[in-house]
Amino acid sequence: MWGMRVAMISLHTSPLEQPGVGDAGGMNVYVLNMARQLARRGVTVDVFTRATRPSQGEVVEVEQRLRVINVVAGPYEGLAKEELPTQLAAFAGGILEYVRCHYLAYDAIHSHYWLSGQVGWLLRDLWEIPLVHTAHTLAAVKNAHLSAGDTPESEARRICEQQLVDNADLLVVNTEEELADMVRHYDAGSAKIRIVPPGADTELFTPGAESERSTERSRRQLGIPLHSKVVAFVGRLQEFKGPQVLLRAVAELFERDPHRNLRVVICGGASGSSSAPDTYPELARELGVQRRVRFLDPRPPEELVAVYQAADIVAVPSYNESFGLVAMEAQATGTPVVAARVGGLPIAVEDGVTGLLVDGHGATAWADALATVLDDDPLRIEMGERAVTHAATFSWAASAGRLAEVFDEAVALDLPDCHQRRAEG
Residues at the annotated binding site? Answer: 12, 18-19, 23-28, 81, 113, 137, 157, 236, 241, 299, 308-309, 311, 321, 329, 335
- b (16+ CB within 10 A) / e for 136-159: bbbbbbbbebebeebeebeeebbe
Query: Are the beta carbons of 173 and 195 closer than 8 angstroms?
Result: yes
DSSP-based three-state secondary structure for 287: helix
* 3-state percent breakdown (helix, strand, coil) of the chain, nearest 5: 50, 15, 35
Those residues with Cβ within 8 angstroms of residue 163's Cβ, 6 or more apart along the chain or in another chain: 118, 121
Query: Are the beta carbons of 304 and 329 closer than 8 angstroms?
Result: yes
For residue 132, the cross-strand partners are 110, 170
Give the amino acid at 6.
V
For residue 403, give the nearest of 201, 179, 110 by alpha carbon: 110
Distance CA 422, CA 404 (A): 27
Rg, Å, the chain Cα set:
22
DSSP conformational letter for 190: G
The DSSP string of 215-251 is HHHHHHHHT--TTSEEEEEES-BSGGG-HHHHHHHHH
Annotated binding site for UDP-N-acetyl-alpha-D-glucosamine, which residues? 18-19, 26, 236, 241, 299, 321, 329
Distance CA 49, CA 9 (A): 6
What is the separation of C-alpha 305 from the centre of its chain, rounded to a whole number of angstroms?
Answer: 17
Distance CA 139, CA 101 (A): 36
Distance CA 319, CA 237 (A): 13
Neighbours of 414 (CB within 10 A): 7
Annotated binding site for Mg(2+), which residues? 308-309, 311, 335
Annotated binding site for 1D-myo-inositol 3-phosphate, which residues? 12, 23-28, 81, 113, 137, 157
- b (16+ CB within 10 A) / e for 280-305: beebbeebebeebbbbbebbeeeebb
First CA to last CA distance, the chain: 28
The region, left, alpha or beta by phi > 0 then psi within -120 to 50, assigned to residue 42 is left
